[in-house]
Amino acid sequence: MSYSSLYVMDNKFNGDVLNDYKNSWLLSPMIWDILFYKYLPEKVKYIAGEKSGLMVSARNDNQLWIELNDKLNESSNLKDRMCWEFSNQQIFMSKDKKLICDALSTFWEDNIQYEDREIGTHIHERFRDVGLDINNIDETEYPYIIFKNTSVDDAIETLFRQYDDNDEIKEISLSEHEKVVAEFVLINDGVMSFCNNVEFCKNNATE
């Protein structure tokens, strides 16, 4: 079974796994489905009387994902936007961990009207457990957080590993990338903005 992971980065943009979580379906896909129903209700399809969520629809139509992203970017709901970017493997500042934990812990309560399926305690527990782990991060040691959705994908690993001339894997810092490969989520006074890895690492380099 696939798993998801919580990554942290130090001041020099070196990444490390803080914790792994069994069954990667229990957080990000749940967020995607709820936000899909909430922001694109006209696109919800029904199969045998049941809602067909974003995970089903987006596999056949990537445009839905783009449309949902556009809707979230236009939204004034900071919690929804944070959960969306968190589930899309963006890099958050650990100084914002209380905001992140609050967004995760209240996600179901805030959006219960958009979910008519019975949500088991194991899903609530996953949101809670990830939030607790984030809340316990030492933001001085690890100023940055990334949630990796699934072990099936290696997009996060490639931020911190690359093959050398001998085709052997070596550990690297995110700051060593010369191309844009990720975005940092910046939250100031309730306003969210973004900065790509090249610009952010250059402007926040430490000796």
Model confidence over 126-184: pLDDT tens digits? Answer: 999 999 999 999 999 999 999 999 999 899 999 999 877 777 789 999 999 999 999 99
State pLDDT tens for residues 73-88: 999 999 999 999 999 9
Q: If we measure between CA atoms, which residue out of 90, 86, 182 comes closest to residue 130?
A: 86
Instruction: Round the average pLDDT of the chain to a whole number and report it.
Output: 89
Whole-angstrom distance, CA of residue 107 vs CA of residue 102: 8
C-alpha separations of 83 from 131, 147, 164, 169 in Å: 11, 11, 36, 32
Query: What values do phi and psi take at 38, rounded to 5?
Result: -75, -45
148-168 burial code (b ≥16 CB/10 A, e <16) = bbbeeeeebbebbeeeeeeee
Q: DSSP state, 206?
A: -
Q: What is the pLDDT of residue 112?
A: 83
DSSP string of 75-140, one letter each residue: ---HHHHHHHHHHTT-EEEGGGHHHHHHHHHTHHHHHGGG--SPPPHHHHHHHHHHHHHHHT--TT
Helix (H, G, I), strand (E, B) or coil at 6: strand
User: Is the pTM of the predicted complex or chain greater than 0.95?
Assistant: no
Spans of all domains in the chain: 3-23+78-203
Tens digit of each residue's pLDDT (9 = 90 or more) over 43-65: 877 655 666 666 555 555 678 88
pLDDT at residue number 55: 59
Structural element, H or E, at residue 50: strand 50-52
Region 84-106: mean pLDDT is: 96
Q: What span, in angstroms and rounded, lies between the C-alpha atoms of 50 and 116?
A: 10
Give the pLDDT of residue 205.
83
